[in-house]
Amino acid sequence: MNSPSDSSFPLGTLTIGKTFDFEAGHRLPSLPPEHKCSHQHGHSYQVEVILTAPTLEAPGFVTDFGALAPFKKFLDTELDHQNLHEVLPFEPTSEHVAQFLAGWIIQNLEPDIPGRLVAVRVCETERSWARFDVEQR
C-alpha cells in the first residue's frame, strides 16, 4: 500500500466531512404573517462540518472524527429540542445558524484540532440547505 510520502500520491488538499443532527423549532417573526415560516414550526436539522488540512496527522487524518465530539455535545445541550428563536441571539434562518456554528467551531474546536474549517452546511430538509464558507485564513 502506498504511503503519503510515496511519489505516486498526487499533491493536493485533503478534506473530510461529518454530519450531525438535532431537532428544533423556530419561527421567523420578521416575515409577513401570511408567510408560513413566520409561524412556529420544526425541523430535523442536519449539520455538515467540512474540514481540510494540507498534510495529514498520524495515522493519516485531517482531524480525528472523535475530536469533533465537543461540537456534538454543544448541539445536544444547547440547540436540540429548543425553540431556536428563544435561545439564539439572532433570527434563526439556516444561513445565520450555519454562520453561527462556524464561529463556534473556529473559537472552540480549531485551537485543539489539526484541521481547519472550510464550511458548515445546515439542512432544514433533504432539499433545503444553507452553507457558510469560511474565508481563507
Q: How many CB atoms lie within 10 A of CB 106?
A: 15
Nearest to 41 by CA among 23, 67, 16: 23
Per the residue annotation, which of 48, 81, 126, 135 is the catalytic one? 81
For residue range 93-124, list pLDDT tens digits in order.
999 999 999 999 999 999 999 999 999 999 99
* pTM recorded for the entire structure: 0.91
Based on the residue annotation, tell me whether 35 is a catalytic residue of this protein: no
Domain assignments of the chain as residue spans, ordered by start: 42-133
Based on the residue annotation, tell me whether 81 is a catalytic residue of this protein: yes
39 is in an annotated binding site: no
Based on the residue annotation, tell me whether 57 is a catalytic residue of this protein: no
DSSP SS3 for 25: strand
CATH topology of domain 42-133: Tetrahydropterin Synthase; Chain A (3.30.479)
Per the residue annotation, which of 23, 37, 57, 91 is the catalytic one? 37
For residue range 56-106, list pLDDT tens digits in order.
999 999 999 999 999 999 999 999 999 999 999 999 999 999 999 999 999
